[in-house]
Structures are given as C-alpha cells and as structure tokens.
Amino acid sequence: MKIPNIITLVRIFLIPCLVVAFYLPSEWSRYAAAGVFALAAATDWVDGYLARKLNQATAFGAFLDPVADKLTVAVALIMLVEDYTDIYLTLSAAIIVGRELVISALREWMAEIGKRGSVSVSMLGKIKTGFQMSAIFFLLLAEPYSDLANAAMLVLYCAAVLTVWSMWIYLKASWTELVRDL
C-alpha cells in the first residue's frame, strides 16, 4: 500500500470522526469538528503532493481521492444545512453537491469515450475548492449567525457561484460529445 493511498484512506476514516465531533454535547465540539475538517483538507493536499513527489500515483488513488473529497464536503455541508437552517446556505450546499455529482459522472463518461483530458481539473476548480473548504471550516468553527459565520456564508456563496461557473466550463468543453447522439 502506497503512502498517498494510506493518507486518502485516513481521510475517509476522518468522516465519521467529523460527524461525531460535530454532534458531541460539548462547548468545544465545533472546534473539534473544524479541526477534523481542517486535517482532512490538509491530507487532501498532502496525498496528492506525495503521490507526485514520490512517484506513487496509482489507479486506486486516482479513484479514491476524489471520492474522499466529495464525501467529506457533502457530509460537512449536510451537517451545516441542518445546523443553520438558512435557505441560501442550503441552496449553496445543493449547488455544490449537485455540481460534484454532475462533473463526476461527466468525467467518468468522458473517460469511457477517451476524452477525459477535456474535463480535467482546472485552476478555477482549485480556486473554487479553496473558497469552499475555507467557508466550510469557518462555518463548522463559528456559532451560527455570528459575525464569523456570516462572513463564512458569504465565502460559501462565492464558492457556489464559482461552482456554477466551473460546471459551465466543463459542460461547454464536453458539449459536442454530450449532444452527438440527440
């Protein structure tokens, strides 16, 4: 088992830890949940870096890494939607999770037809992820509707806009293939 794959598996193991930390009946549960989320986000960067640096990229890692990312983000957003009960946060979460489902399916399909490169990760996607991870971290950390939480919600709204924009770019890049058999 390669080191980057072990780190990715740890990230998946952190998901139930995130949920448990978030729902602990304690004053420090939000700090614990934010810390677990930050650790998961950091391991996402570390496993990719090590896979490239140590030349340990694998098909298993290429499959598992985005799954771990999407699961972590989806679970965190679900908890936040419940915690905040805010329509704009809920819409942002739905946009982010929906986009991940659409783009994952699109990438899988494009790979099947040999055109995976046209929907590879872009710089806009990386920026979107930065906004998204930062917003989720601070929303987990802050008390709902505090000044920090309100600022984090604005960042999440920006992430949702970037999410739609990046989805549009991916769909535009694959549109010819998508409508070929209509």
Residue range 17-53, pLDDT digits in tens: 999 999 999 999 999 999 999 999 999 889 988 999 9
- Poorest-pLDDT segment among 3-12, 140-149, 172-181: 172-181
Q: Name residue 80's amino acid.
A: L
Tokens for 110, please give them.
């494009």
CA atoms within 13 A on the CB side of 17: 14
CA angle 63, 66, 68 (to 5 degrees): 100
Q: pLDDT at position 78, please? A: 97
Residue whose tokens read 């740890």: 10
Tally Cβ neighbours within 10 Å of residue 152: 22
Q: Is 170 exposed, middle or buried (0-12, 13-18, 19+ CB in 10 A)?
A: buried
By C-alpha distance, which of 102, 95, 150 is closest to 128?
Answer: 95
Q: Is 25 exposed, middle or buried, given 0-12, 13-18 or 19+ CB atoms closer than 10 A?
A: exposed
176: left (phi over 0), alpha (psi -120 to 50) or beta: alpha
pLDDT tens readout for residues 121-144: 778 888 999 999 999 999 999 999
pLDDT in tens, 49-93: 899 999 999 989 888 998 999 999 999 999 999 999 899 999 999
Q: What is the CA radius of gyration of the chain?
A: 17
Contact (CB, 8 A) for 41 and 70: no
